[in-house]
């Protein structure tokens, strides 16, 4: 039995799901499994899984409380539901996925700025390992461009993040692109999103 009282709610997930869905429909491969890194509450997984079918949606998170929330939201959602959530720490090399999972995309929303830089490094290298040619690695969130914030609100947000944890912060898109190039990805496609955010899509060469 799934404990549906474990479902946590992030208001931002409700606000950004429609704009994100529109971009994902454009950039995702037409089939296979989307591996979501840092699924958090699980709201995105429950919403995107039926909307993006026949693709499968595989949510992951390193936190036990998040896995419980993901399972609860999945049980409340429509068919086809996400695959069972898995524990995954993106900073580690031993991702619990294999060829049978048929991963064709790696998606991560609002993770790289709310985690140590090692998570971003591990996320990019992990995506490089699990994706084949034509696979997509997709990030959503705020980013610096050319070393600068793209909005005054992001300056304040970056300071707030670093006040919470000095290892956090709004990341440079150029630095992430450098990591991606090292892992065999092409230069990214960049999509403007509401609230000074971006959706960034890298294709595996």
Q: Average model confidence (pLDDT) for the chain?
A: 95
The band of 2, judged by pLDDT with boundaries at 50, 70 and 90, is low
pLDDT at 5 over 90: no
The pLDDT of residue 13 is: 81
pLDDT at 14 over 90: no
pTM > 0.85: yes or no: yes
User: How does pLDDT run across 140-175, given as a tens digit for each residue?
Assistant: 999 999 999 999 999 999 999 999 999 999 999 999
In CATH terms, the fold of domain 4-203 is Rossmann fold (3.40.50)
pLDDT at 39 over 80: yes
pLDDT at 1 over 60: no
Average pLDDT in the 40-53 region? 96
Give the per-residue SS3 of the chain.
CCCHHHCCCCHHHHHHHHHHHHHHHHHCCCCCEEEECCCCCCHHHHHHHHHCCCCEEEEEECCHHHHHHHHHHHHHCCCCCCCCCEECCCCCCCCCCCHHHCEEEEEEECCHHHCCHHHHHHHHHHHHHHCCCCCEEEEEECEEECCECCCHHHHHHHHHHHHHCCCCCCEEHHHHHHHHHHCCECCCEEEEECCCEEEEEEEEC
The pLDDT of residue 8 is: 87
User: How does pLDDT run across 65-112, given as a tens digit for each residue?
Assistant: 999 999 999 998 899 999 999 999 999 999 999 999 999 999 999 999
């Amino acid at each position: 039995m799934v404990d549906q009282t474990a479902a946590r709610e992030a208001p931002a997930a409700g606000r950004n799901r429609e704009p994100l869905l529109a971009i994902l429909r454009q950039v995702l491969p037409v089939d296979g499994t989307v591996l979501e890194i840092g699924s958090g509450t699980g709201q995105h997984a429950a919403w995107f899984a039926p909307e993006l079918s026949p693709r499968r949606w595989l949510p992951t998170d390193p936190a036990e409380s998040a896995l419980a929330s993901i399972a609860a939201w999945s049980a409340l959602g429509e068919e086809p539901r996400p695959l069972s959530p898995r524990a995954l720490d993106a900073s580690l090399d031993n991702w619990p996925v294999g060829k049978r999972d048929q991963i064709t995309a790696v998606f991560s929303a609002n993770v790289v700025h709310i985690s140590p830089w090692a998570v971003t490094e591990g996320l990019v290298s992990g995506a490089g390992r699990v994706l084949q040619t034509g696979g997509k690695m997709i990030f959503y969130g705020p980013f610096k461009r050319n070393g600068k914030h793209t909005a005054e609100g992001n300056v304040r947000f970056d300071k707030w993040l670093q006040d919470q944890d000095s290892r956090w912060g709004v990341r440079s898109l150029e630095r992430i692109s450098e990591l991606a190039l090292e892992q065999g990805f092409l230069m990214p496609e960049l999509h403007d999103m509401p609230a000074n955010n971006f959706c960034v899509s890298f294709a595996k060469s």
